[in-house]
């Protein structure tokens, strides 16, 4: 059974670093590379951070029903391909999605069993510092991201877990613990439990 893990966070909260470290730690996890219509930023690599396509191509894929979820953020589309989900199911892999609040809401509607995790910076000041340190955005973009962060954070109650990212190593450890715990939830263990129960039904109890 494939479990989908949704990880959302305001820009600058350290989500990308956490997801990258998480996937390195757990060989059963596959990262779903999102499609987007925006241009690459900084050291981003096509096919690794995002799959970059044109707006007309993205809209054609919407019309063809190719996205499990999609949203328009800051004037650009972002979306998750259905194919990566189906492929993960066939191969028995769990899937990690790095998506925003809009996409998370859509996905939870379609896959209520998906596990959602919201990542926060410890404070507004620290978030602003992280945005400035990465030196990717103009001042007006930074201010817009901070305003949008306040709106996104108000949606934290929609998520199953909330993680405050004080230190990367500890945060990755927490994510690993969440994933391990979710994998042994009863609803995800049914396929393993049934044959165990059946094995007890096959033999009568011993009299000695």
90-133 per-position pLDDT tens digit: 999 999 999 989 899 999 999 999 999 999 999 999 999 988 88
Instruction: Please give the pLDDT value at position 206.
Output: 64
Residue 48 pLDDT grade (very low, low, confident, very high; cuts 50, 70, 90): confident
Instruction: Please give the pLDDT value at position 74.
Output: 80
What whole-number distance in Å separates Cα of residue 74 and Cα of residue 40?
14
What whole-number distance in Å separates Cα of residue 160 and Cα of residue 195?
30
Instruction: Please give the pLDDT value at position 7.
Output: 96
Instruction: Please give the pLDDT value at position 204.
Output: 66
Residue 155 pLDDT grade (very low, low, confident, very high; cuts 50, 70, 90): very high
What whole-number distance in Å separates Cα of residue 7 and Cα of residue 25?
16
- Phi, psi values for residue 51, rounded to 5°: -105, 115
* Percent of the chain's residues with pLDDT above 70: 97
Closest Cα to residue 22, out of 129, 80, 94, 106? 94
Taking all residues of the chain, what is their mean pLDDT, rounded to a whole number?
Answer: 91
Residue 47 pLDDT grade (very low, low, confident, very high; cuts 50, 70, 90): confident
What whole-number distance in Å separates Cα of residue 22 and Cα of residue 114?
17
pLDDT at 203 over 70: no
Residue 44 pLDDT grade (very low, low, confident, very high; cuts 50, 70, 90): confident
Q: Contact at 8 Å (CB) between 135 and 128?
A: no
- Phi, psi values for residue 46, rounded to 5°: -55, 135
Spans of all domains in the chain: 4-199
Average pLDDT, stretch 58-75? 93
Average pLDDT, stretch 8-33? 93
**Cβ neighbours for 14, distance < 8 A, ≥ 6 positions apart:** 119, 121, 130, 165, 168, 171
Task: Specify the pairing of strand 161-164 against strand 115-120.
Answer: parallel
pLDDT at 134 over 80: no
- Phi, psi values for residue 4, rounded to 5°: -100, 125
Q: Contact at 8 Å (CB) between 29 and 94?
A: yes
CATH class of the domain defined by 4-199? alpha beta
pLDDT at 202 over 80: no
pLDDT at 29 over 90: yes
Q: Contact at 8 Å (CB) between 103 and 148?
A: no
Residue 85 pLDDT grade (very low, low, confident, very high; cuts 50, 70, 90): very high
For the CA atoms of 141, 142, 144, 147, the dihedral, rounded to the nearest 10 degrees, stands at: 170
Tens of pLDDT, residues 137-147: 788 888 988 99
């Amino acid at each position: 059974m494939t479990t989908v893990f949704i990880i959302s966070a305001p820009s600058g909260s350290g989500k990308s670093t956490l997801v990258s470290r998480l996937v390195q730690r757990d060989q059963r996890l596959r990262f779903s590379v999102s499609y987007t219509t925006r241009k690459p930023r900084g050291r981003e690599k096509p096919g690794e951070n995002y799959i970059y396509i044109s707006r007309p191509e993205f809209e054609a894929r919407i019309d063809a029903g190719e996205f499990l979820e999609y949203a328009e953020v800051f004037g650009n589309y972002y979306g998750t391909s259905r194919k990566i989900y189906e492929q993960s199911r066939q191969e028995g892999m769990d899937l990690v999605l790095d998506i925003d609040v809009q996409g998370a809401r859509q996905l939870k509607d379609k896959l209520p069993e998906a596990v959602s995790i919201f990542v926060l910076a410890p404070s507004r000041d620290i978030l602003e510092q992280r945005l400035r340190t990465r030196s990717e955005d103009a001042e007006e973009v930074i201010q817009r991201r901070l305003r949008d962060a306040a709106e996104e954070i108000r949606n934290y109650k929609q998520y199953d877990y909330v993680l405050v990212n004080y230190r990367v190593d500890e945060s990755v450890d927490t994510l690993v613990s969440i994933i391990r715990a979710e994998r042994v939830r009863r609803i995800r263990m049914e396929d393993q439990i049934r044959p165990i129960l059946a094995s007890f039904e096959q033999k009568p109890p011993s009299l000695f």
